[in-house]
């Protein structure tokens, strides 16, 4: 395949997102300094709505882990965590984040003048819906800061999200209230939780609309854009700022659709990305695919912050349902059904599975899923080996060669039709 220099169109709204993300980080930093508001650390698909409704500002260590990856600081941090007993093969968000803490550095300092460290927590709240690593990760910080660590234990490998499961998780969410009241000094207020849930649902709906614009041919969006644009959906869900931002972003993408503006000029092939992004290679991968007139335009990963079950009129059950219906929580059977729908919806020509060395939870190609889906859908797939954060696990040359060969295969298939 001949690689071309293909034009990728930048999203104008990103500058506005930069401003609200900066406000978010500075607000946390100020609160950590003057102790004006309680601070909770929360897993990325943890009960953020409950925390926000109880007056907590929220820091998401996974977001920090991704920043360490994207700024390519992670690989230098990981050995610090290895030295205190966390092996190089466990979650490289965890090892990079704890390593950075031990080294006393953070990418926040480079991005936001005056911020010297992550904000010290008053409480750590996890949900094991995504993996067990988050529990160990938070346990370490609990000891380090001598603060309470509480969480929700969710079954994994779930096929149908039945009512008994929803009730069990909802009860666990309710049980978080008394300790959170004690830490924050704020009384739980059902009206406030409903208000935050409504905001979070609106954010989720808008984010889904943003992602679904990629079903248009040509797509106005790429997966690589999505990994950047998802920031507010992760850290600011439940706030008006996130909603306002996604309205602006959606309008820009709808305008592109109206004018047939493609995110990757001359889009020829459409790819679905399954698995974690390779944070330190977002730009490299974006250029690699675009150079082959191929748009990686949709992913399971970015869809993971769509919580269509949120219902302000049934906050606990609907929160439990949404956070248990997540792709990562589900059985292979349910995951395959989900991916099949996505392939059809986004009209894709091929799937790329990222087998991330340190995240088995988000690497779905290890037990034959790629082959089963290929057989059923006749859509070809490629597995690339790498990692979300640890660049030592990546071979750029191998990725490039494999991707080029894969796109060539797509071309041959199309020619044969
Ligand atoms: S799901 Fe994977 S990347 Fe995310 S915290 Fe768990 S192990 Fe780490």
Q: Can you tell me the mean pLDDT for 76-99?
A: 98
Q: For tokens 């920090």, what's the residue?
A: 64
Domain C-terminal end among 186, 217, 251: 186
Instruction: Please tell me the predicted confidence (pLDDT) of residue 9.
Output: 85
Instruction: Please tell me the predicted confidence (pLDDT) of residue 325.
Output: 96
Same domain for 330 and 376, yes or no, is yes
Lowest model confidence (mean pLDDT) among 3-12, 193-202, 327-336, 393-402: 3-12
Measured at the CA of 208, the angle between CA 25 and CA 330, to 5 degrees, comes to 95
User: 127 alpha carbon to ligand 1 midpoint, in Å?
Assistant: 12
Domain C-terminal end among 137, 153, 186: 186
Same domain for 262 and 120, yes or no, is no
Q: Can you tell me the mean pLDDT for 65-87?
A: 98
Same domain for 354 and 378, yes or no, is yes
Same domain for 328 and 377, yes or no, is yes
Q: Can you tell me the mean pLDDT for 271-278?
A: 98
Q: Can you tell me the mean pLDDT for 336-352?
A: 98
Domain C-terminal end among 161, 186, 211: 186
122 lines ligand 1 (CB under 6 A): no
Q: Percent of the chain having pLDDT more than 70?
A: 99
Q: Is residue 400 part of a domain?
A: yes
For atom 2 of ligand 1, the residue with the nearest CA is 359
Domain with 361 in it: what CATH number?
Answer: 3.40.50.11900
Same domain for 321 and 372, yes or no, is yes
Instruction: Please tell me the predicted confidence (pLDDT) of residue 3.
Output: 60
Distances (CA, A) of 155 to 112, 129, 206, 274: 38, 7, 29, 22
Same domain for 402 and 311, yes or no, is yes
Which tens digit of pLDDT belongs to each residue from 362-375?
Answer: 999 999 999 999 99
Spatial distance between the Cα atoms of 131 and 182, rounded to a whole number of angstroms:
27
Name the band, by pLDDT with cuts 50, 70 and 90, for residue 320.
very high
Which tens digit of pLDDT belongs to each residue from 245-261?
Answer: 999 999 999 999 999 99
| Domain tally, the chain | 2
Best of 60, 70, 91, 127 for a ligand 1 pocket test (most atoms within 8 Å of beta carbon): 91
Same domain for 315 and 360, yes or no, is yes
pLDDT mean across residues, the chain: 97
Best of 362, 366, 386 for a ligand 1 pocket test (most atoms within 8 Å of beta carbon): 362
Q: Is residue 12 part of a domain?
A: no
Same domain for 293 and 383, yes or no, is yes
Instruction: Please tell me the predicted confidence (pLDDT) of residue 72.
Output: 97
80 lines ligand 1 (CB under 6 A): no
Q: Is residue 42 part of a domain?
A: yes
Overall pTM surpassing 0.95 (yes/no)? yes
Instruction: Please tell me the predicted confidence (pLDDT) of residue 8.
Output: 79
Distances (CA, A) of 396 to 84, 181, 280: 30, 49, 11
User: 87 alpha carbon to ligand 1 midpoint, in Å?
Assistant: 14
- Domain span at residue 175 reads 27-186
For atom 6 of ligand 1, the residue with the nearest CA is 131
**Which atom from ligand 1 is nearest to the alpha carbon of 131?**
6
The 10 Å Cβ neighbour count of residue 143 is 10
- 127 has which bridge partners? 152
Domain with 175 in it: what CATH number?
Answer: 3.40.50.11890
Same domain for 199 and 341, yes or no, is yes
Instruction: Please tell me the predicted confidence (pLDDT) of residue 417.
Output: 79
Non-local (6+) Cβ contacts of 156 within 8 A are 128, 129, 328, 329
388 lines ligand 1 (CB under 6 A): yes
Same domain for 201 and 142, yes or no, is no
């Amino acid at each position: 395949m001949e690689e071309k220099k293909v034009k990728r169109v930048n999203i104008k709204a990103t500058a506005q997102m930069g401003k609200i993300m900066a406000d978010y980080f500075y607000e946390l930093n100020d609160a950590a300094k003057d102790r004006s508001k309680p601070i909770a650390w929360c897993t990325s698909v943890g009960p953020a709505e409950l925390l926000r409704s109880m007056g907590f500002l929220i820091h998401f260590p996974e977001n920090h882990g991704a920043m360490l990856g994207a700024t390519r600081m992670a690989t230098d941090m990981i050995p610090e965590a290895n030295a205190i007993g966390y092996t190089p093969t466990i979650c490289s968000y965890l090892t990079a984040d704890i390593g950075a803490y031990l080294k006393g550095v953070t990418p926040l300092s480079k991005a936001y003048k005056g911020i010297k460290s992550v904000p010290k927590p008053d409480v750590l709240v996890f949900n094991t819906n995504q993996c067990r690593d988050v529990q160990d990760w938070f346990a370490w910080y609990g000891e380090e800061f001598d603060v309470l660590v509480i969480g929700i234990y969710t079954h994994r490998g779930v096929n149908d999200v039945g009512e008994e499961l929803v009730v069990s998780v909802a009860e666990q969410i309710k049980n978080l209230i008394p300790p959170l009241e004690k830490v924050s000094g704020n009384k739980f207020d059902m009206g406030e939780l409903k208000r935050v849930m409504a905001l979070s649902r609106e954010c989720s709906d808008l984010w889904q609309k943003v992602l679904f614009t990629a079903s248009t041919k040509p797509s106005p969006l790429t997966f690589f854009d999505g990994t950047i644009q998802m920031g507010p959906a992760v850290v600011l869900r439940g706030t008006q700022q996130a909603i306002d931002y996604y309205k602006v972003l959606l309008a820009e993408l709808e305008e592109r659709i109206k004018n047939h503006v493609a995110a990757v000029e001359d889009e020829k092939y459409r790819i679905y990305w399954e698995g974690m992004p390779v944070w330190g290679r977002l730009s490299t991968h974006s250029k690699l695919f675009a150079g082959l007139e191929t748009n990686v335009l949709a992913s399971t990963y970015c869809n993971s912050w769509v919580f269509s079950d949120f219902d302000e009129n049934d906050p606990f059950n609907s929160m439990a349902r949404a956070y248990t219906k997540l792709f990562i929580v589900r059985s292979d059977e349910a995951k395959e059904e989900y991916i099949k729908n996505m392939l059809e919806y986004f009209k894709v020509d091929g799937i790329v599975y990222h087998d991330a060395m340190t995240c088995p939870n988000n690497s779905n190609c290890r037990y034959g899923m790629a082959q089963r889906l290929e057989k059923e859908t006749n859509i070809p797939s490629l597995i690339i080996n790498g990692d979300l954060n640890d660049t030592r696990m990546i071979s750029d040359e191998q990725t490039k060669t494999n991707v080029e060969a894969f796109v060539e295969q797509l071309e041959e298939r199309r020619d044969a039709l």
